[in-house]
Amino acid sequence: MNEFGFPLLSLMLAVPMLGAIACLFANAQTARMIALAATTIDLILGIVLWINFDQSASAPAWQFQEYAPVFGRFAWALGIDGIALLLIALTVFLMPICILASWEAIQKRVGEYMAAFLFMEVLMIGVFTAQDLFLFYIFFEAGLIPMYLIIGIWGGANRIYASYKFFLYTLLGSVLMLIAMLWMAREAGTTNIPTLMAYDFPPQVQTWLWLAFFASFAVKMPMWPVHTWLPDAHVQAPTAGSVILAGVLLKMGGYGFIRFSLPMFPDASAQFAPLVFGLSMVAVVYTSLVALVQQDMKKLIAYSSVAHMAIVTVGLFAFNQAGIEGAMMVMLGHGLVSGALFLCVGVIYDRLHTREIDRYGGLSINMPRYAILFMLFTMASVGLPGTSNFVGEFLALMGVYQASSWVALICTTGIILGAAYMLYLYRRICFGEQKNADAAAVPDLNWREIVMLVPIGLGVLWMGIYPESFLAPMRADVRAVVARMAPAAPQGDARLALGKGLPAKTHSSHEAAGEAH
């Protein structure tokens, strides 16, 4: 039980779990209703969680804690800080939208589909709330099962290859992390994550532990060169699957870095920061260029995700407040924007059943409402001031500029390239002449689609115009992480030196010199 007097987090896990079980036994329409109801209840619970989250300076770092030692070696230990709160909010916000997006697109085996999604929600919230090392691992790893089924059953033509690739890639990454966790739990004598975050592992061991965790999080993130599962998975997954994959699952990698790699292994993080920077710089430039030549809309957005996640990793390893806050903001913003972009792709895919960019053109004429919303999300993806991604990318790059000017310089080109591929995509789809008769005839957004997209649009604008709402809950937690890493922080190449200023009184310096004599 927690100070709130009610196991709110357990309830947030129980609602979709029960919904998932119910969906398995329901017919198609009932399953849709159950799924929508369960995700909406979780959204409301998420709002209650946010409202009751104590953001004051004196607030405890971990809130809503629950503890029940029911599993022998590990415990049902839940609790959140501001970082987890934001990611939970992102999850519960996107889930009802995903259910709506699948309302008509999924016609076969609806009950199982909805059950898989609700189970996925349980696991995602579980990852962000788990306070026990092994409970975290179980939630983290179990996500493979529903996602494998979602891609494999309801995916596109090449879905089986994509589902295998997704599963085996992420599994191989994670198992090494498990061995590291086993070692850590023995060394520290606890499986409690907050305790482990304060435990000082010997620096030479940190190197190995860091690499084991990196194997998992880098695949999940995904970082170049282990990103290749992502375009396949995205392209083949159904629309809502892509939204969850891009919106939340990728964030587990970033969350893992903030929660484990940085505070638990600060020395190793400093040691490997150049590696992360190097991979991220390659990712930003290379995947942006790859995105530029894609013919498939989903693939283009998938590659853009890799580029955006690279900004996240450089921000995280900048070892300062701005970098980590920026990385978090990019994750949240990207969660909304890439989710929305996949939904936009899904909208026209549902109408024309092709993701080929050339098959569209001039949609702004017959789909004006769609064109406006798509424009908003395109601009947000580019990082236009006033949208969510601007705040995050600006902060992250500002943070990394202190660490390394070169990294900042190269990563900033990602924004320019991002503008290039996104605007080019938008032009080919929405502007130009209506060269395809069938594309010219498709109807504009219906109410269901507007209900899906407009809330995301509002969220994007809110984050862009008043980011303080999102920065405030995590500020203290990010500060704690930065303070934890401070002794190990590498020297940046920005040699900040306070200006000397003009001496106020010339004789005072003479006096000082005289005393020294």
Partner 1 sequence: MIDTASLAMVAPEEILCVGGLVLLMIAAFVGDKSARLIGWLSILVLAGAGLSLLGLPGHGGDAFDGLYRADAFGAFTKTLIYIAAAVSILVAPRFFESGPASQASVIRPEYPILILFASAGMGMMVSAGDMLTLYIGLELNSLAAYVLASFMRRDGRSAEAGLKYFVLGALASGILLYGVSLLYGFTGSTSYDGISAAMADGLSRGELFGLVFVLAGLAFKISAVPFHMWTPDVYEGAPTPVTAFFASAPKVAAVGLTVRVALEAMGSALDQWQQIVVFVALASIIFGAVAAIGQSNIKRLLAYSSINNVGFALIGLAAGTAEGVAAVLSYLAIYVVMTLGSFLCILQMRDANGNPVEDIASLSGLSQSRRGLAAAFAIFMFSLAGIPPLMGFWAKFLVFDAAVGAGLTGLAIFGISASVIGAFYYLKIIKTIYFDEPAAGYAPAGSKVESALIAVCAILLVIGYLFNAPLASVTYAAAAALH
Q: How far is the CB of 483 from partner 1 (least distance, A)?
A: 31
Decide if residue 293 touches partner 1 (CB under 8 A).
no
Decide if residue 183 touches partner 1 (CB under 8 A).
yes
Paired strand residues for 67: 77
Residue 355 CA to residue 282 CA, distance in Å, equals 27
Decide if residue 172 touches partner 1 (CB under 8 A).
yes
Residue 286 CA to residue 168 CA, distance in Å, equals 24
Residue 283 CA to residue 264 CA, distance in Å, equals 26
Of residues 183 and 424, the one with the C-beta less far from partner 1: 183
Q: How many chain residues bind partner 1 (CB under 8 A)?
A: 33
Candidates 5, 29, 51, 73; binder of partner 1 (CB under 8 A) is 73
In contact, 377 and 463? CB cutoff 8 Å = no
Candidates 51, 70, 512, 516; binder of partner 1 (CB under 8 A) is 70
Residue 15 CA to residue 121 CA, distance in Å, equals 10
Decide if residue 103 touches partner 1 (CB under 8 A).
no
Of residues 108 and 505, the one with the C-beta less far from partner 1: 108
Decide if residue 109 touches partner 1 (CB under 8 A).
yes
| Residue position matching structure tokens 């937690």 | 477
Residue 438 CA to residue 275 CA, distance in Å, equals 49
> Which one of 99-107, 163-171, 318-326, 471-479 is the stretch in contact with partner 1 (CB under 8 A)?
163-171
Candidates 176, 372, 420, 442; binder of partner 1 (CB under 8 A) is 176
- The residues, any chain, with a CB within 8 Å of residue 391's CB and separated by 6 or more, are 326, 329, 333, 463, 464, 467
> Which one of 164-172, 194-202, 370-378, 437-445 is the stretch in contact with partner 1 (CB under 8 A)?
164-172
> Which one of 141-149, 279-287, 348-356, 423-431 is the stretch in contact with partner 1 (CB under 8 A)?
141-149
Please report, to the nearest 10 degrees, the dihedral formed by the alpha carbons of residues 76, 81, 86, 89 taken in order.
Answer: 40
Decide if residue 163 touches partner 1 (CB under 8 A).
yes
Site string for partner 1, 111-140 (x = CB under 8 A): -x---------------------x--xx--
Please report, to the nearest 10 degrees, the dihedral formed by the alpha carbons of residues 343, 136, 307, 413 taken in order.
Answer: 130
Candidates 113, 148, 401, 470; binder of partner 1 (CB under 8 A) is 148
Decide if residue 205 touches partner 1 (CB under 8 A).
no
The number of C-alpha atoms within 13 Å of 407 and in the hemisphere containing its C-beta is: 31
Decide if residue 62 touches partner 1 (CB under 8 A).
no
Candidates 1, 44, 61, 168; binder of partner 1 (CB under 8 A) is 168
- What Å distances lie between residue 46 and 186, 337, 450, CA to CA? 35, 20, 22
Decide if residue 164 touches partner 1 (CB under 8 A).
yes
Of residues 17 and 270, the one with the C-beta less far from partner 1: 17
Site string for partner 1, 4-43 (x = CB under 8 A): --------------------x-------------------
Candidates 171, 365, 419, 489; binder of partner 1 (CB under 8 A) is 171
Which two structure tokens, joined as six digits, stand for 498?
A: 């306070």
In angstroms, how far is CA 324 from the centroid of its own chain? 13
Which two structure tokens, joined as six digits, stand for 222?
A: 């995904």
Of residues 236 and 242, the one with the C-beta less far from partner 1: 236
Q: Which amino acid is at 58?
A: S
Decide if residue 149 touches partner 1 (CB under 8 A).
yes
Of residues 157 and 497, the one with the C-beta less far from partner 1: 157
Q: How far is the CB of 9 from partner 1 (least distance, A)?
A: 17
Q: Which amino acid is at 231?
A: P
In contact, 9 and 63? CB cutoff 8 Å = no
Decide if residue 72 touches partner 1 (CB under 8 A).
yes
Alpha-helical segments (H) within 58-202: 82-105, 110-129, 133-142, 144-154, 159-188, 193-197
> Which one of 26-34, 67-75, 231-239, 306-314 is the stretch in contact with partner 1 (CB under 8 A)?
67-75
Decide if residue 220 touches partner 1 (CB under 8 A).
no
Decide if residue 451 touches partner 1 (CB under 8 A).
no
Q: How far is the CB of 169 from partner 1 (least distance, A)?
A: 9
Long-range contacts of residues 438-443, Cβ cutoff 8 Å, at least 24 apart = 438/352, 439/348, 439/352, 439/359, 439/360, 439/361, 439/362, 439/363, 440/362, 440/365, 440/366, 441/366, 442/348, 442/351, 442/352, 442/363, 442/366, 442/367, 443/351, 443/366, 443/367
Q: Is the peptide bond before 222 cis (omega within 30 degrees of 0)?
A: yes
Characterize 454-479 residue by residue with b for buried, 16 or more Cβ atoms within 10 angstroms of its Cβ, and e for exposed: ebbbebbeebbeebeebbebbebbbe
> Which one of 180-188, 283-291, 360-368, 450-458 is the stretch in contact with partner 1 (CB under 8 A)?
180-188
Q: What is the enclosing helix (H) or strand (E) of 401?
A: helix 388-403
> Which one of 34-42, 173-181, 364-372, 481-489 is the stretch in contact with partner 1 (CB under 8 A)?
173-181
Residues that bind partner 1 (CB under 8 A): 24, 70-73, 109, 112, 134, 137-138, 141-142, 144-145, 148-149, 152-153, 159-160, 163-164, 167-168, 171-172, 175-176, 178-179, 182-183, 186
